[in-house]
Amino acid sequence: MTFKKVLTLFITFAAAFTLVACSNSSSKSSDTKKEAVSSMPKISGVSYYGKVPQSPKRVVSITSTYTGYLLKLNQNLVGVSSYDKKNPVLKDKVKKAKQVTSTDLEAITALKPDLIVVGSTEEKIDQLKKIAPVISIEYGKRNYLDIFSDFGKIFKKEKETKQWLSAWKSKTAKVKKKLNRAVGNDATFTVMGLFEKETYLFGNNWGRGGEVIYQALGFKAPEKVTKEVFPKGYLSISQEVIGNYIGDYVVVAAEDKKTGSSLYESKAWKNIPAVKKGHVIKVNANAFYFNDPLTLEYELKTLEKGILKAAK
């Protein structure tokens, strides 16, 4: 065999070997990516984009619903929403974080996050996942306590979440007994939210204290609220019919004292039995919009104090 033929065979073999090696490398890389995604816990309503780090160092929370959960698990938040900055429970904890929205792609990129948390309705997921791995969560798919457990599974902090959930169950049970002695076991509660020109009623899973009042403390709502509000989670109502939905006590969430002034001055409001008895508990909507562990603890204390005062 001539030297030229030997050289030709060697080059052919080398090229074939390189192609196989590249193919194997690509296959392994693809498998690694699949393993990275498939290794994440499968949770209803939760989607992953990219390799989500178990211990992220720089997290951007675009959906304020989940900021408190992340903070409770000691995640370092470098980007948060405007609502987080207004939340009296969280604002000091996110003081150093930059306020961003999902449209601030350049600003988010500049923060160099290694994880971004969003709601499932977020329209910019395709752009955001190019910046960092993304966790997308569908609101309402899991209840407010399950979500905390879910984050515990994602970040391998199940011990911490179980401890808090156990403490929460014990704490709310004690408060429930105290409040039942004050208002009676059969007292009904209505949860309201006031905006500039609109009034809403809320169910047991839409914030404004509903999770605490109806789920944690076990208070009942008036039948009309249970039938018309609970299925959807909320209901817009007019001043004229509001009295038909108010129970023995009413929790009213508003962002400031001016909000709802027209309602408070109306005859329809003043003629409601619960209002006449002073059974109105006014709370800060900037905190009560949410139901994360940190905010829940604040809500429980606020409601306990407010209900005991109203019951005197």
At 2, the pLDDT band (50, 70, 90 cuts) reads: very low
Average pLDDT over residues 99-122: 96
At 26, the pLDDT band (50, 70, 90 cuts) reads: very low
Q: Cα 63 from chain centroid?
A: 7
State percent of the chain over pLDDT 90: 80
How many other C-beta atoms lie within 10 A of the C-beta of residue 19? Answer: 10
At 137, the pLDDT band (50, 70, 90 cuts) reads: very high
Average pLDDT over residues 29-36: 40
The domains of the chain are located at: 46-158, 183-311
**Residue 119 predicted with pLDDT over 70:** yes
**Residue 265 predicted with pLDDT over 50:** yes
Per-residue pLDDT at 261: 84
Query: What would the pLDDT profile of 178-220 be if each residue is shown by its tens digit?
Result: 999 999 999 999 999 998 789 999 999 999 999 999 999 999 9
**Residue 14 predicted with pLDDT over 60:** no
Average pLDDT over residues 10-16: 41
Query: What would the pLDDT profile of 242-257 be if each residue is shown by its tens digit?
Result: 999 999 999 999 998 7
**Residue 86 · residue 312 · CB < 8 Å:** no
Give the DSSP letter string of 67-128.
Answer: HHHHHHTT--EEEE-HHHHH-TTTTTTTTTSEE--TT-HHHHHHT--SEEEEETT-TTHHHH
Average pLDDT taken over every residue of the chain:
89
User: 46-158 — its CATH code?
Assistant: 3.40.50.1980
Average pLDDT over residues 256-278: 91
End-to-end CA distance of the chain: 108
- More confident of the two residues 84 and 3: 84
Per-residue pLDDT at 51: 94
Same CATH topology for 46-158 and 183-311: the answer is yes
Average pLDDT over residues 138-152: 94
Q: Is 12 helix (H, G, I), strand (E, B) or coil?
A: helix
Rounded Cα–Cα distance for residues 199 and 214 (Å):
20
**Residue 304 predicted with pLDDT over 50:** yes
183-311 has CATH 3.40.50.1980 classification: yes
Rounded Cα–Cα distance for residues 150 and 16 (Å):
47
Average pLDDT over residues 55-71: 96
